[in-house]
Amino acid sequence: MPETIIALARYYITLLFGTAIAVSFAGMPRTRKNYVAVGCLTALLFALQLICLKTWGMTIAYKLYPLLSHLPIAVFIAVYLKRPWLISLTAVFTSLYN
């Protein structure tokens, strides 16, 4: 049980860090509203991934990971932050390698 909690905490922190890097690369204005929006997005994505993990298991959840995390972050950057799709996708892909 403690190993599961530690693994999930590490996973959530990694998700939060990757999201923070992606929105930073996209040039997100540093306002409280934007920080709250990114925090809510990250919590929502984490909950969605946990539901997927419990419903279909690790194999399917691992295969769906890009659709469950990278795509929503790119959409968030394009729609909420009003950035061009090229900037949005570049920010997400660049954050993958940092």
Beta carbons within 10 angstroms of residue 58's beta carbon: 9
Domain limits at 80?
Answer: 2-96
**Over the stretch 48-95, which tens digit does the pLDDT of each residue have?**
989 998 899 878 888 888 888 999 999 999 999 999 999 999 999 988
Task: Give pTM, 2 decimals.
Answer: 0.88
Looking at residue 53, what is its pLDDT? 86
Domain count, the chain: 1
- Which residues, including other chains, have CB under 8 Å from residue 86's CB and lie 6 or more apart? none
Looking at residue 98, what is its pLDDT? 56
> Nearest 5°: CA angle at 44, between 38 and 49?
125
